[in-house]
Amino acid sequence: MVIKNIHISRASRYLVLGGIGVLLFMGCSGDVEKTQESDITLPVTVMEPVEKDLSKIKKNGVLRMITSYSSGSYFLYRGIQVGFEYELLKEFTKENELALEVIIPGPDESPYDLLNSGRGDIIAANYTITPERKQVVKFTRPYNIVDQQVVVSDDLGFKPESITDLEGIPISVRRNSSYFVRLQELREQGFPVQINVIPEDMDTETVLFQVADGTHQATIADDNIYEAASKYMSGLVKGPLIAESDTIAWAIRTNAPDLEHQLNRFLYKHFRFDEDGVPKRSAFLNVLRKKYFESGNQIADYFSPGYQEGQIGTFSPYDNMIKEVATEFDLDWVMLTAIAAQESKFNPSSVSWAGAVGIMQVLPRFSEISSDSLYIPEVNIREGAKILSSHLKHYSYMDSTNRWSFALAAYNVGQGHLADARRLAIDHNKDPNEWNNVSEALLRLMQRKYYQNARYGFARGIETVRYVNEIMNRYNTYQTVLAYNQAKQSTGSGGVLGLQTLN
């Protein structure tokens, strides 16, 4: 049996305490830096790599993965290790009977130095292959192809068709990124590019969120990251491409030919080009791409479900069952129905990417009910209601609106992260019993300067805030439908508002 360990390098050990990550996206978190004189440098001090090829790695039984703590590479979701890079590399370690250990560079640590010093064995962080990086590391064969996409805020009021349309509009990117390098190249070619350098700890998803809310006017993102983010972020407008067909690969030491060979054999099974240069992907890689990028929101399925017209006053085939369980736990059955719709679209066979099952998406590892039994609708609804009831009791001193908001947030993200957000609200002199204040704090927990001091680490706050808002909105809509139908019945005018209009 392979035991998976986690090592977090200095100044980053707190990250392992996180209970939930996020879903899903990370840009080309490149470490290329370009000065005003156009001299490109990398943050490297260890120039000579240690002698540590595959044989030594197998002798130790552990492959050490250098990555970033982000929703596209590696994060914790309620204690579950997930992330596109993590799952892909974990498949390699399984095939080679190795344990996979995670190393997250601290604020002052270079991933290249961690690699060349032997503290890590492979950089798996969605790195673009660039000539500058190839001077320091060896790249495997690619496992993805991406385009660099300009993304602007819809506050600008127009869709830029070319880079010249962005004259006078600052484009916010990290200096140590391939985006920055590409913008510098365009500037040197005479294009009117204005670059706004932002902190290095802001991943692409965070920047996109700030473009969506108008904090920044424009940024650059890989096209797959933009497509995924646009499914659940409003306020983003697609601009022109500034680079096409960038290759993404893993980075290893320059003196590890056996490791390179074995990694390339593995990647060849999952990604290669046909005779026409068209990329071909394995079923496994396609599943990972869909899970973390193509389907958008991967923490939970928050897209509005489609409804079928039915009897007056009904929302699902399980209304009577939900009413009975709600009465048992003294819950609002309409709210319980709204949660079930959000969690599973009333699908009793639903299984989330993280293993949550059934109508209420209960995680078996946190339930005393057997996994098989959780697929039984009544059992699953009752277990979800029990968990929700415990959260409501925990916040029983609050008013009704805040109490439900906090209970829903705890059901989604866990009470640990919610406690971190409440402490952060206090730090900002805000009332921790007001959901509006805590929701703001949850969004801050997506930023390194806040989550690095939080007990439970990084939290995908945007997911939880959206989860609470959508359920509350759905609940209000359900109540409106019920009132409408009751009014129709009482006046005898007939007609039922079709439930399919709710999505």
Q: Catalytic residue positions?
A: 343
3-state DSSP assignment of residue 225:
helix
> Is-contact 419 17, C-beta < 8 A?
no
3-state DSSP assignment of residue 181:
helix
Distances (CA, A) of 228 to 231, 283, 396, 411, 463: 6, 19, 37, 24, 14
> For residues 40 and 431, what is the distance between their CA atoms, to the nearest angstrom?
47
Of the candidates 84, 65, 66, the residue with the CA atom closest to the CA atom of residue 24:
84
Task: For residue 493, count other CB atoms closer than 10 A to its CB.
Answer: 8
Angle between helices 257-270 and 84-95 (to 10 degrees): 110
H helix or E strand, kind and range, residue 145: strand 144-153
3-state DSSP assignment of residue 249:
strand
> For residues 149 and 241, what is the distance between their CA atoms, to the nearest angstrom?
5
Instruction: Show Cβ contacts of residue 106 under 8 Å, excluding neighbours closer than 6 positions.
Output: 9, 10, 11, 12
Of the candidates 291, 292, 344, 287, the residue with the CA atom closest to the CA atom of residue 317:
344
